Amino acid sequence: MKLRAIMLSLLTFASVACPARAEDAADYPSKKIKMLLPFGAGGGGDVLGRLLADRMAKRLGQTIYVENRTGAAGTIGAQQAATSPADGYTITIGGMTTHVLAPAVYPNLPYDPIKDFTTIGRIGTSSILLIATKDFAANDLRGLTELSKKGEPIQYGSWGVGSTGHFCGEILSQKAGVRLQHVPFSGAAKLANDLMGGHVSVGLVDMATGTPLVKDGKLKALAVCGGRSPSLPEVASYKEQGVDFERSLSWVMYAPSGVPAPIAQKISTALKESLAETDITEKLLALGISADFIAGDQQRDINARDIEAWKKVASDAKIEVK
* Domain ranges across the chain: 8-125+248-317, 128-241
What angle separates helix 44-60 from helix 261-275, to the nearest 10 degrees? 110
Q: Is the pLDDT of residue 82 over 80?
A: yes
pLDDT value at residue 221: 98
pLDDT value at residue 316: 75
- Identify the CATH number of the domain defined by range 8-125+248-317: 3.40.190.150
Q: Do domains 8-125+248-317 and 128-241 have the same CATH topology?
A: yes
Which helix (DSSP H) or strand (DSSP E) does residue 2 occupy? Answer: helix 2-27
Highest mean pLDDT among 40-49, 73-82, 169-178: 73-82
Alpha-carbon distance of 188 to 206, in angstroms, equals: 7
Mean pLDDT along residues 180-200: 92
Decide which of 308 and 317 is more confident: 308
Q: What percent of the chain has pLDDT over 70?
A: 91
Say what the pTM is: 0.82
Q: What is the pLDDT of residues 21-59, one digit of tens each?
A: 443 778 999 999 999 999 888 888 899 999 999 999 999
Nearby residues of 56 by Cβ (< 8 Å), 6 or more positions away: 64, 267, 270, 271, 274
Superfamily of domain 128-241, CATH level 4? Periplasmic binding protein-like II (3.40.190.10)
End-to-end C-alpha distance for the chain, whole angstroms? 59
DSSP string, 4-49: HHHHHHHHHHHHHHHHHHHHHHHH--SS-EEEEESS-TTSHHHHHH
Q: What percent of the chain has pLDDT over 90?
A: 64
Q: What is the pLDDT of residues 108-139, one digit of tens each?
A: 899 999 999 999 999 999 999 999 999 999 99
